[in-house]
């Protein structure tokens, strides 16, 4: 049985959910005798930002390449914008945008001319709902390159080149945008502007965004939902706050009193603080409440997947994942 036959054999029946942009079920990939993906399930809806996190070698690149239609899976069902990527035509591909980690072609083109040229390829695929392409002047302003419209691509700085990468990825007003380490090379101001652009795309254009990054702080700021991929499996899924709370439900409270430092772990930080302040009042100084972060959750989950020891800080997540599949 071929990969395409396998997909058809398990294709879902019933009317399509128009709000469901990604629908992946039991995705598997094998290279020779090596299994890279082991039954990956994931979904994404219109206007949602989904971050796919995981260590190198976890299967992120393979998963994204399958979703983009550049690689055939070994088994499973994959629907992207309602279409099997292996059979996606040009009209389907015009609805996608991709921002790669690096892109070094067309160095002799001027920025504005390049975007206008690329945009022309999308014009035949405009619809009443989505006008394609994005007007060049508006696009340049959006990514902060208006002043460089006449600059040759080869003369752009690293940060400016990264802005151009983003512009190339969204020139066709994609309904689904893949972002691979999108803010590498950005200074803090450019990073903030990019985050605002992501919110604009999702809030105004209802663009669905799949983000792959090693920058956990960026994922925490941008993502509505995070999937952690380790060992070819989705080992946890949820909002940044949900994942952190699953790993460590207790908060850590730190304070000083009369020159002495105290640390206390509690499941009810609000109640503990109320009692603490009632008893000691203004004598409580340097008060700090800390919960587990997304980084704490990520490191705990990946460590336990890689070692196979499902105990300790990530045990709650494993229990919830297993209960959800029963």
Read off the pLDDT of residues 42-52 as tens digits, 9 standing for 90 and up. Answer: 999 999 999 99
User: What's the rounded Cα separation, in Å, for the pair 163 and 186?
Assistant: 8
> What is the structure's pLDDT at 102?
66
User: What's the rounded Cα separation, in Å, for the pair 228 and 306?
Assistant: 13
| Residues of the chain below pLDDT 50 | 1-14, 314-322
The answer to whether the beta carbons of residues 182 and 99 sit under 8 Å apart is yes
Q: Is residue 116 part of a domain?
A: no
The answer to whether the beta carbons of residues 22 and 218 sit under 8 Å apart is no
> What is the structure's pLDDT at 194?
86
Instruction: Collapse the DSSP code of 34 into the 3-class scheme (helix H, G, I; strand E, B; otherwise coil) and give the result.
Output: strand
> What is the structure's pLDDT at 103?
63
Among candidate residues 38, 42, 51, 52, the one with its CA nearest the CA of residue 80: 42
Residue ranges making up the domain that contains 275: 246-324
Among candidate residues 168, 183, 198, 264, the one with its CA nearest the CA of residue 47: 198
> What is the structure's pLDDT at 318?
43
Q: Is residue 25 part of a domain?
A: no
| Strands across the sheet containing 34-45 | 34-45, 20-31, 75-80
Q: Is residue 191 part of a domain?
A: no
Q: Is residue 313 part of a domain?
A: yes
Q: Is residue 275 part of a domain?
A: yes
For the chain, what is the domain count?
1
Q: Is residue 261 part of a domain?
A: yes
Q: 76-100: per-residue pLDDT in tens?
A: 999 999 999 999 999 999 999 999 8
């Amino acid at each position: 049985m071929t990969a395409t036959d396998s997909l058809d054999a398990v294709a879902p029946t019933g009317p399509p959910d128009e709000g469901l942009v990604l629908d992946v079920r039991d995705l598997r990939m094998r290279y020779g005798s090596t299994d890279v993906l082991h039954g990956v399930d994931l979904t994404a809806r219109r206007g949602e930002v989904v971050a796919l996190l995981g260590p190198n070698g976890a299967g992120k690149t393979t998963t994204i390449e399958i979703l983009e239609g550049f690689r055939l899976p070994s088994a499973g069902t994959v629907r992207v914008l309602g279409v099997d990527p292996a059979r996606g035509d040009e009209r389907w591909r015009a609805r996608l945008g991709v921002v790669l980690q690096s892109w070094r072609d067309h160095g002799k083109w001027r920025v504005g001319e390049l975007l206008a040229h690329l945009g022309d390829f999308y014009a035949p695929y405009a619809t009443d709902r989505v006008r394609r392409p994005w007007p060049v002047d508006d696009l340049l302003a959006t990514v902060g390159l208006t002043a460089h419209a006449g600059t040759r691509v080869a003369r752009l700085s690293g940060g400016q080149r990264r802005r151009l990468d983003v512009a190339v990825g969204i020139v066709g007003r994609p309904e689904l945008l893949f972002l691979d380490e999108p803010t590498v090379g950005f200074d803090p101001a450019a990073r903030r502007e990019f985050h605002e652009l992501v919110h604009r795309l999702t809030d105004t254009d209802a663009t669905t965004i799949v983000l792959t990054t090693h920058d956990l702080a960026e994922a925490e700021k941008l993502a509505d939902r995070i999937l952690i991929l380790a060992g070819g499996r989705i080992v946890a899924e949820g909002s940044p706050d949900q994942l952190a709370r699953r790993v460590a439900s207790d908060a850590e409270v730190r304070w000083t009193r009369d020159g002495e430092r105290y640390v206390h772990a509690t499941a009810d930080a609000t109640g503990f603080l109320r009692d603490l302040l009632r008893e000691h009042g203004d004598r409580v100084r340097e008060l700090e409440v800390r919960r587990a972060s997304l980084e704490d959750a990520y490191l705990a989950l990946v460590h336990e997947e890689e070692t196979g020891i499902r105990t300790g800080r990530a045990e709650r997540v494993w229990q919830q994942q297993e209960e959800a599949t029963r």
